[in-house]
Amino acid sequence: MRVILGGTFNPPHYGHITPALYAADLLGVEHVDLMPCKLAPHKSVSVSETHRVNMIHRCCDTHSRLRAELIELSLPSPSYTVKTLRALNSKHDDTICFLIGADSLYNLDKWYEWESLLNYCHLIVMRRDSETFSPPPAIAKWLRRNAIQDIERLHQRKSGHVLLLNTPLKTISSTQLRNEIASENADTLDHAAPDTIESWVPRNVIEYINDNQLYSE
């Protein structure tokens, strides 16, 4: 079984890493694969793919359970998840648990061929800003058909289930981090108490951001 977290990672942060590792623990999987998209379907991205990948590699240097999955960089863009999952399935037989945050779940019906996603993976949903999940009606209806409670069931089928997990809440976003840095708080990030920095972003990622003057305007 593989646990994959797709994202723009602009930049990666502990809102990605902490709940993803927690989910992997519950699933009994050692690694979490961070999979940067080439071109995000619903977003504009301000820094190069190379910087985003380098920051992911830094996260992997800090956390040995993280790995980089770079398949989307060689697939056509935009990076539609259903197409990526098909490509991954054609290469390996592993069951894929694809992680998404609650905000992604609530918008899932806007994704390309979203109703096919569960043909290729299980979806594991992490809490984002709130203790509880409050999906809109269309998604709630879909969840009634597809959501399970018992983690063991993920090991019994290769795809087709959705699991909402009570992952630790880390209410940070890449947008918030970019705004902090753009508003000249990069210095604050750099000199803040180590506990503060390390609760947002791995230190070597902050160093990378500062060294490359990312997000400063």
Ligand X SMILES: Nc1ncnc2c1ncn2[C@@H]1O[C@H](COP(=O)(O)OP(=O)(O)OP(=O)(O)O)[C@@H](O)[C@H]1O
Ligand Y SMILES: O=C(O)c1ccc[n+]([C@@H]2O[C@H](COP(=O)([O-])O)[C@@H](O)[C@H]2O)c1
Q: How far is the CB of 207 from ligand X (least distance, A)?
A: 20
**Of ligand Y, ligand X, none, which one sits near residue 16, judging by CB under 5 to 8 A according to partner kind?**
ligand X
**Of ligand Y, ligand X, none, which one sits near residue 170, judging by CB under 5 to 8 A according to partner kind?**
ligand X
Place of tokens 């709940």: 19
Rg (CA), the chain: 17
Nearer to ligand Y, 175 or 196 (CB): 175
Position among 2, 3, 17, 19 found at the interface with ligand X (CB under 6 A): 19
Q: Is 159 in the site for ligand X (CB under 6 A)?
A: no
188 vs 72: CA distance, rounded Å: 34
Nearer to ligand Y, 44 or 149 (CB): 44
Q: Is 179 in the site for ligand X (CB under 6 A)?
A: no
List, as one string, the DSSP characters of 155-187.
Answer: GTSSS--EEEE-PPP----HHHHHHHIIIIIHH
214 vs 52: CA distance, rounded Å: 10
Q: Which residues bind ligand Y (CB under 6 A)?
A: 6-8, 37, 40-43, 79-82, 104, 111-112
- Say whether 138 sits in a helix, a strand or coil: helix
Which residue number places its CB atom closest to ligand Y? 6
Place of tokens 């993280």: 66
Give the residue from 62, 69, 71 showing the smallest Cα distance to 18: 62
Nearer to ligand Y, 129 or 207 (CB): 129
Q: How far is the CB of 156 from ligand X (least distance, A)?
A: 25
70 vs 178: CA distance, rounded Å: 23
Per CB under 6 A, residues contacting ligand X are 7-10, 15-16, 19, 100-101, 103-104, 126, 128, 170-175
